[in-house]
């Protein structure tokens, strides 16, 4: 596990939040965590995370794979070099967003659910003291995304259980989990929308930290990350009466749905 050194909140602050109890966090600062398969998959929740930051939340980014297969523009690149580029780019985005990055570095495009990986993800959720998690929808064009969804479903439920021991202490409660919409012709049952009109330009600027993926997108699709996000965000915004929006649905899992407000 590789961790970025940027820490957005003091130990005392995190401890204070833990003592308040997660059942009483409505209106209080939260720990908001993106758990994605690849570096750049946060593109459909990044605007909402920036909005969370404005209300005082701390941001964390976890990726499960090393992202080493995301180089359609340079297919001959070796895994070690490709993974280093993706790690550097995601670290830069996390720093610029005022957050922290944890990279689990599984093999890109060959992600499997294993006991060892479950414990590593449980530890990452505990280390971040996760209270609100964004991750992939269960139906997606990429199997790494689907595998990540199921890993989060299991590990978020298990993160409060002391019987599964890791370095960090168990969470006091399972985090709320919301799912991002996938790319492609997949029906997505959006139930929650966030107006990101005020955050869109910052989101687009941050996504340019993924320089390798900006070039990959242009090579594969003929469009960059900003253009791709703008089309989706404008469509979702039109549905709810704003310029740009991101949409989500809750994960249907034990502990993942809350009775209190978590989205900004």
User: How distant is the alpha carbon of residue 114 from its chain centre?
Assistant: 20
CA triple 73-76-82, angle to 5 deg: 75
What is residue 8's predicted lDDT score, i.e. its pLDDT?
Answer: 45
Structure confidence at residue 15 (pLDDT)? 46
- Looking at every residue in the chain, the average pLDDT score rounds to 92
User: Per-residue pLDDT tens for 105-153?
Assistant: 999 999 999 999 999 999 999 999 999 999 999 999 999 999 999 999 9
Structural domains for the chain: 2-19+28-250 (3.40.50.10320)
Q: Residue 162 above 90 pLDDT?
A: yes
**Could you give the percent of the chain with pLDDT greater than 70?**
90
CB 131 within 8 A of CB 25: yes
Mean pLDDT confidence for 42-56: 98
What kind and span of H or E run contains 164?
none
List Cβ neighbours of 61 (8 Å cut-off, separation of 6 or more): 33, 34, 36, 42, 90, 93, 94, 97, 99, 100, 101, 102
Question: Positive or negative, the Cα torsion across 4, 117, 130, 49?
Answer: positive
């Amino acid at each position: 596990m590789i961790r970025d050194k940027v820490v957005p909140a003091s130990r005392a602050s995190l401890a204070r939040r833990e003592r308040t109890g997660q059942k009483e966090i409505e209106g209080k600062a939260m720990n908001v965590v993106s758990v994605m398969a690849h570096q750049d998959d946060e593109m459909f929740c990044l605007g909402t995370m920036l909005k969370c930051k404005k209300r005082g939340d701390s941001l964390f980014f976890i990726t499960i794979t090393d992202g080493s297969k995301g180089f359609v523009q340079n297919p001959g690149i070796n895994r070690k070099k490709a993974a280093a580029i993706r790690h550097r780019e995601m670290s830069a985005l996390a720093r610029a967003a005022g957050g922290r990055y944890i990279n689990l570095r599984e093999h890109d495009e060959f992600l499997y659910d294993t006991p060892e990986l479950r414990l590593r993800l449980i530890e990452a959720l505990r280390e971040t003291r996760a209270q609100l998690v964004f991750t992939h929808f269960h139906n997606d064009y990429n199997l790494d995304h689907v595998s990540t969804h199921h890993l989060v479903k299991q590990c978020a439920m298990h993160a409060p259980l002391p019987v599964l021991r890791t370095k960090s202490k168990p969470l006091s409660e399972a985090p709320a989990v919301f799912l991002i919409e996938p790319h492609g012709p997949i029906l997505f049952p959006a139930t929650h929308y966030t107006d990101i009109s005020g955050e869109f330009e910052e989101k687009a600027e941050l996504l340019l930290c993924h320089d390798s993926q900006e070039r990959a997108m242009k090579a594969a699709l003929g469009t960059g990350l900003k253009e791709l996000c703008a089309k989706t965000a404008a469509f979702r915004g039109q549905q709810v009466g704003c310029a740009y929006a991101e949409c989500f649905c809750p994960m249907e899992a034990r502990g993942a749905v809350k009775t209190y407000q978590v989205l900004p």
